[in-house]
Chain A
């Protein structure tokens, strides 16, 4: 069966510090991968998605970046965090083979607090 992992689970970082959040998927190959952010009291915002190694699409301009160094690894980064980067970050994956398999499966999330 497929599983998705995210770490760390929680993170407190000062403004201006760097960020690296990691997401890995097991039990599938060539998944589509997604990063979402859920700000306090708000819905989910798609930040990045990837259909393959090295292929990243950015949905919103910001000081975050994403990379996919391996097929089942997706990393969210920042060089300098802002207060507004605080939120709950969710990674998700979906099968890329056929239309009916486009359900997205979410990881447990990382709660980031920028102080």
Chain B
């Protein structure tokens, strides 16, 4: 079956530091890939997505590139802010389906 593996947190950073959250996946065919963010006490919000190999999703300074050769979709941001403190979830949707498969989430804490 499908699965998503992402690095365990928490990840603690200082403001303006570089952030990388690794995400790898196992799926048949050509899934779509997503990053969701969950701010404290809230539901999930879609951060960015990529629907085919070599696509780069970007939003709010975050980027992730769909790498089929390494089955990865790592999330990066060049300079984090305190407001980026949240839990980040990597997810995939199989090519012919409605359901998302989520990774375990990575908690990020940015200190001023």
| Smallest beta-carbon distance B99→chain A, Å | 6
User: Looking across the interface, which residue of chain A has its beta carbon closest to that of B32?
Assistant: A102
CB-contact partner of B42 in A32, A43, A59, A109, under 8 A: A109
From A43, A104, A107, residue with most partner B Cβ within 10 Å: A43
Task: Say whether B61 faces chain A, with CB atoms less than 8 Å apart.
Answer: no
Q: Is the CB of A90 within 8 A of B44?
A: yes
Q: Is the CB of B99 within 8 A of A46?
A: yes
Q: Is the CB of B98 within 8 A of A107?
A: no
Interface-located stretch among B11-19, B69-77, B100-108 = B100-108
User: Looking across the interface, which residue of chain B has its beta carbon closest to that of A105?
Assistant: B46
| Smallest beta-carbon distance B85→chain A, Å | 17
Task: Say whether B59 faces chain A, with CB atoms less than 8 Å apart.
Answer: no
- B45: which A residues are within 8 A, CB to CB? 106
Bound: A62/B92 CA distance, A: 24
Task: Say whether A49 faces chain B, with CB atoms less than 8 Å apart.
Answer: yes
Binary A-proximity of B90-102 (CB < 8 A = 1, otherwise 0):
0001000011111
Q: Is the CB of A44 within 8 A of B102?
A: yes
Bound: A103/B46 CA distance, A: 8
- B32: which A residues are within 8 A, CB to CB? 102
Interface residues on B, range: 20 to 34
Number of A-B residue pairs, CB cutoff 8 Å, is: 45
Q: Is the CB of A103 within 8 A of B98?
A: no
User: Looking across the interface, which residue of chain A has its beta carbon closest to that of B106?
Assistant: A43
CB-contact partner of A103 in B49, B89, B102, under 8 A: B49
Bound: A61/B104 CA distance, A: 20
User: Looking across the interface, which residue of chain A has its beta carbon closest to that of B46?
Assistant: A103
Task: Say whether B58 faces chain A, with CB atoms less than 8 Å apart.
Answer: no
19 new A-B pairs (CB below 8 Å) besides A90-B43, A109-B42? Answer: A32-B98, A34-B99, A43-B104, A44-B102, A46-B100, A49-B99, A51-B98, A59-B99, A90-B44, A92-B44, A96-B98, A102-B32, A102-B93, A102-B98, A103-B46, A106-B43, A106-B44, A106-B45, A108-B43
- Give A residues with C-beta under 8 Å from B: 6, 32, 34, 42-44, 46, 49, 51, 59, 90, 92, 94, 96, 100, 102-109
